[in-house]
Amino acid sequence: MNQVTIRNLNIEDYDLVIKLWKSTEGIGLSDADSQENIKRFLHRNPELSLVAQKGGELVGAILCGHDGRRGYLYHLAIRKDQRLKGFGKELVSNCFQRLKLAGIDKCHIFVFRENEQGIGFWTKNRWESRLDLQIMSSHTDKIL
């Protein structure tokens, strides 16, 4: 039985979700993933981030949000023993439905270049690499 229940990710799920993310290859965690920061993200993006449960156990999670014009997905993870059953695709599909209801028609993800398994998943599901963009980052405590 490959049935999974999809529901909103709540801050009460944090300990289980962070454990899943830490055990998933290709996911990079930082201070931005502290419980306080995830709580703020969920508050700013209500009912967009999701978990997948099977038999009462958490088997997947995804963060989803938007800035008013573009959607963003972060940290899609499926427990290793539950992969290749369509759960990741189902989480993404549910996020897309919710983003569409919010008026968002395009979504972006960030994937580490060396994450071949992740790139394979996204490519198989019709995502395209953007070779015309270069991602750049800066900490907000740096004064220009």
Confidence (pTM):
0.91
Q: Would you say 122 and 91 are in contact if contact means Cβ atoms under 8 Å apart?
A: no
Q: How far is CA 51 from CA 12, 45, 64, 93, 129, in A?
A: 12, 15, 11, 13, 26
At residue 92, φ and ψ (nearest 5 deg) are: -65, -45
Mean pLDDT, the chain, as a whole number?
A: 94
How confident is the model over 52-73, as a mean pLDDT? 97
Query: What residue ranges define each of the domains in the chain, with the CATH number in brackets?
Result: 5-124 (3.40.630.30)
pLDDT value at residue 1: 52
pLDDT value at residue 51: 98
pLDDT value at residue 115: 92
